[in-house]
Structure 1
Amino acid sequence: MSVTILLGSASSARAAILTRAGIPFTQLAADIDEAALVTDIPEPRVQAQALATAKAHAVANKLLHDPQPHEPTYIIAADSVFEFEGQAYGKPQRPEVATQRWRAQRGKTGMLHSGHTVVAVLGGRKQRILQETVSATVSFADVTDSVIDDYVATGEPLFVAGGFTLEGHGATMITGVDGDPNAVLGLSLRAVREMLDRLGVSMTALWIATE
């Protein structure tokens, strides 16, 4: 029986992770009000999971709104929140915010929380929902103001949780990661594999399907 893996995100980084892992998938972005959702959730780890779950449900609802029959579909959604000195930080959005955050976190360590939700859509309805949050510690180089200014000027840190990435320019400013590096990139393949296993979907069978 064929199945569809649907990435509930517009993230090119998460799509690249699935592509590198040899997992065939389609992509559908979720439309949620992230700021409103986390207003009353102070804990960064809980925020990350709440965002991932909301995205998964939003995409499932979009899918089920289409009256056309669908083969068994497994929606994978994820979202990340950076915790630094007990506070939650999402995407900086603006250059001045990214600069301020980097000047505070340089030479220090924070925690990146990535929430994951898988929703199984079977027989025209949501059947099972699995969740897991994966956290990793990230240590930053003690870079100068000019390096930070140059990094922010690239635009790369503006739309990623915590204002950093492990790929691209950001890789030059990270001294270490303790935990799942893919979770820091946005999607833990280990967590995805285990959740799909629990739903009866073999990742190795998905590999074979792409050959």
Structure 2
Amino acid sequence: MPHSHVSPVPLVLASKSPARLATLAAAGVTPRVVVSDVDEPAVLAAARERFGALEPADAVLVLAQAKAEAVAREVSDALVLGGDSMLELDGEVVGKPADADDARARWRAMRGRSAVLHTGHWLVDARDADDGGTGATLGATSSTTVHFADVDDAEIDAYVATGEPMHVAGAFTIDGLGGPYVERVEGDHHGVVGLSLPLLRSLLAELDIPWRTLRDAG
């Protein structure tokens, strides 16, 4: 039986990503940001030791979970959301480029082609039991196919020179300077930005928390 929440449900975003924060803000949700100090390579290494080779869709989920659970240990009055994104091109994971040369090479490989952007989401209910907290921990991955424009070398050089590609997974944005170079996506474009709002809404529904209660908290 659905229960109504008397007060707004607070959300903590366990991510320093300005794009994730902006996506939530545009949807009327104002989370508190608490960045985890998770050692991502160590988390992935431990996961591989336990489970073997990880598919990109699983790797982002493992990292999102690690971030959310680390922050949830520090808070006791909110839902905690962790996120992580990776681009999969030709079966290989593509993270943030090492430098400008790497970003240029990446774009030459991607132009005129498609890749899959995986974004892991992990939600921990760290609210006090008196406030309806359940201690639940659950997550899912949003995977969206991204089709890149067939841009020439001069356009790539100019984009890399802006510095933007060096700060984002896959060396591109859909909501910033890279937007003109993404021809279309198959899936939720929010997931490409860094946080799938429909997926988050469905995770909340599993905890019997209506989306509107987060928006009211803003």
Task: State the TM-score, normalizing by the size of structure 1.
Answer: 0.90
Aligned equivalent of 2:212, options 190, 204, 207: 204
Aligned equivalent of 1:52, options 52, 64, 87: 64
Q: CA deviation at 1:42?
A: 4.0
Question: What amino acid is aligned across from residue 90 of structure 1 in structure 2?
Answer: G
Aligned mates of 2:107, 2:42 — CA distance in 1: 25
The 10-residue stretch of structure 1 (44-53 or 177-186) with the greater mean CA deviation from structure 2: 44-53
Whether 2:48 is the aligned partner of 1:36: answer: no
1:134-145 superposed matches below 5 A:
134-145=142-153
Aligned to 1:132: 140
Contact 1:106 1:140 in 2 (8 A): yes
The 10-residue stretch of structure 1 (92-101 or 118-127) with the greater mean CA deviation from structure 2: 118-127
Aligned mates of 2:97, 2:43 — CA distance in 1: 17
Q: Which runs of 5+ in 1 are unaligned?
A: 64-69
- Residues 77-112 of structure 1, C-alpha deviation per residue, up to 9 Å, x if partnerless? 111110000001111141111111111111111000
Q: How many residues align?
A: 203
Identity among equivalent positions (%) equals: 41
How large is the RMSD of aligned CA atoms in angstroms?
Answer: 1.7
Aligned mates of 2:216, 2:43 — CA distance in 1: 39
Aligned mates of 1:4, 1:74 — CA distance in 2: 6
Aligned mates of 2:28, 2:146 — CA distance in 1: 27
Aligned mates of 1:186, 1:209 — CA distance in 2: 21
- Residues 8-41 of structure 1, C-alpha deviation per residue, up to 9 Å, x if partnerless? 1111100000000011321111111222333434
Aligned to 1:66: none
Q: Which runs of 5+ in 2 are unaligned?
A: 1-5
Aligned to 1:15: 21
SS in 1 for 2:112: coil
Q: CA deviation at 1:4?
A: 1.4
- Residues 132-166 of structure 1, C-alpha deviation per residue, up to 9 Å, x if partnerless? 10100001111111111111111111121111110
Contact 1:60 1:126 in 2 (8 A): no
Whether 2:123 is the aligned partner of 1:111: answer: no
